[in-house]
Amino acid sequence: MATHETMEPVNKTGKKQGDRLQCVVVTPERTLFDQLVDFVVLPLYDGELGILPGRSPLIGRLGYGELRTKSDGITQRYFIDGGFAEVRDDVVTVLTNRAIPAAKLDTAAAARELEQAQVQRAATDFEQAEKDKAISRARAQLHIGAAK
């Protein structure tokens, strides 16, 4: 009895395409990133989450932080400004207000934003929430930019 073996596409490192994830990062202006990767780290609202091929489906709320992808030994890093992520059938889709490659972050501007947010007065719960968001956003940019 003969067996039938399916042929899956193989990348340059010898991995089958099924051993990879499709990562898509979309902002309101454009699709910033759409590539096959080996691994993705998402900055969820309550902590980081690593995603490997074969992950169970999920939908998660993103916080302010670093999105990392690894492909063929090369790590790419982005600042993510909140949003949502969906993982399904080895596709990671990130919908965010803003995504900036780590190399393009302006740490001086982020430091100024942090200073302004820290001295900002907050009289209402809404104003305090906005102040907290601005501080978190600036701190995340400074953290990611410092690791360039």
Instruction: Give DSSP secondary structure letters for 30-84.
Output: -EEEEEEESEEEEEETTEEEEE-TTPPPEEEEEEEEEEEEEETTEEEEEEEEEEE
Do the beta carbons of residue 79 and residue 140 sit within 8 Å? yes
The two most distant CA atoms of the chain are separated, in Å, by 78
Q: Which of 140, 139, 123, 122 is nearest to 131 (CA)?
A: 122
Q: What is the pTM of this model?
A: 0.77
Per residue of the chain (148 residues), give pLDDT as tens.
444 444 444 444 444 446 899 999 999 999 999 999 999 999 999 999 999 999 999 999 999 999 999 999 999 999 999 999 999 999 999 999 999 999 998 888 888 888 998 888 988 999 898 888 889 888 888 888 877 6
